[in-house]
Structures are given as structure tokens and as C-alpha cells.
A = this chain, B = another copy of it.
Amino acid sequence: MRMSREDAAKNRDRVVRTASRMFREDGYDGIGIAALMKAAGLTNGAFYKQFDSKEALIAEATAFGLAENAKAWEKVLEDAGDDPLQALAEWYLSDIHMAHRGKGCTYATLASEAPRHDDDLRAAFDEGLHKSLSILSESAEVDQGAAIRHLSRLIGAITLARAVKDPALAATILDANRASPAEGGSD
């Protein structure tokens, strides 16, 4: 049953959004085209009319996720008070973010899988990262090096906290990384 151009575009967009969420939850290899399309309310047959391959969707869905993340950071940094990096850390290392991988940071969930994929996906990470860093350094008025270090630390922290079994250990990881980074200079 053919859809209108409008509806077809909506369907395509819904597939990208669904993929962006499910890849973050299950990993690129953890979810298949059929299950993905079903979750988006379609069947697998419709997939190859809209995308060249799974790899192409991976690149597109990841770029979407990174852009979505960047918008969220921009908002948090705008609403932050006199210590934007601290505000970002508290928001990023929250229990909410811990629990909802599918809506959360794409770097934390998928960056470690990128080396196994094609240039289009890795280029999406390039672009996403440039954007993230410019947002961070501009809003928080720090140099690029500091922005990179802050981002690296947040990503590593939530990755570790999500990996461990003991909730107390996870809380320790989050707490240590929420602590004001300038506290002693020993970090």
C-alpha cells in the first residue's frame, strides 16, 4: 500500500528515531532490521526502499542521536548558573540518565562500537564531537582542552557506573565525578 510522500517521510523519520534509541539500548549488533522495523510499526520489506543497508541506517541514526544529545547539552548549559561544567556533570551523571540508555548519551553507549564500522559512521562521530566541544567551550567559557577532558571524564564515568553490578559502587563512581573538578587540582 503506497503512502503519500508526506507519510513516507514520516515513516522514514520514525525508523531513524527508533533505530537511534534501539541501537543505544541494544548495540548495533543487538537489534536486527526486522525487529527494528516492527518497533517502528512497519515490516522489513519497507526497509530497503528507504535505506541502502543497515550500515547506512547505523550512520544516520547515530548522527541523529548525536545531534539530539547536543541540543540537550545546549539547553542544560543555557540554564546553568555560575558553574556550567558542574551543572552539566550533575545533569549528565544523574540517576535518570543512568537508567535510560536509549534516550541518553550516544557517545557513552555506541562510541566503543564505532571502530568496527565504516567511515560514514565514524565521520558522524567527528561532526558530533566538533559540535559538542564548541557548545561546551563556548557556554562554559573554557578552552578546548578542558572541554575535551570534561567530556571524556563524563563519558567514562557513566560507562563504568552502568557496567558494574553493585549500585553502591555505581554511586561511588558517579559521586566522585560529580565532585567539583577544581577541588584539589589533583585530578
Residues of A that sit less than 8 Å from B by CB: 25-27, 29-30, 101, 107-116, 119, 122-123, 125-126, 129-130, 142-146, 148-157, 159-160, 162-166, 169, 172-173, 175-177, 179, 181-182, 184-187
Contact = CB atoms under 8 A, between A and B. Distances in A.
A144 to B, nearest CB: 7
Contact of A125 (B115, B163, B182): B163
A165 B126 contact: yes
A129 B187 contact: no
B112 A163 contact: yes
A141 to B, nearest CB: 10
B126 A159 contact: no
A166 B149 CA distance: 18
Contacts of A143: 186
A138 to B, nearest CB: 15
B29 A30 contact: yes
Contact of A148 (B108, B165, B172, B182): B172
A143 to B, nearest CB: 8
Nearest to A169: B126
B159 A155 contact: yes
A151 B150 CA distance: 13
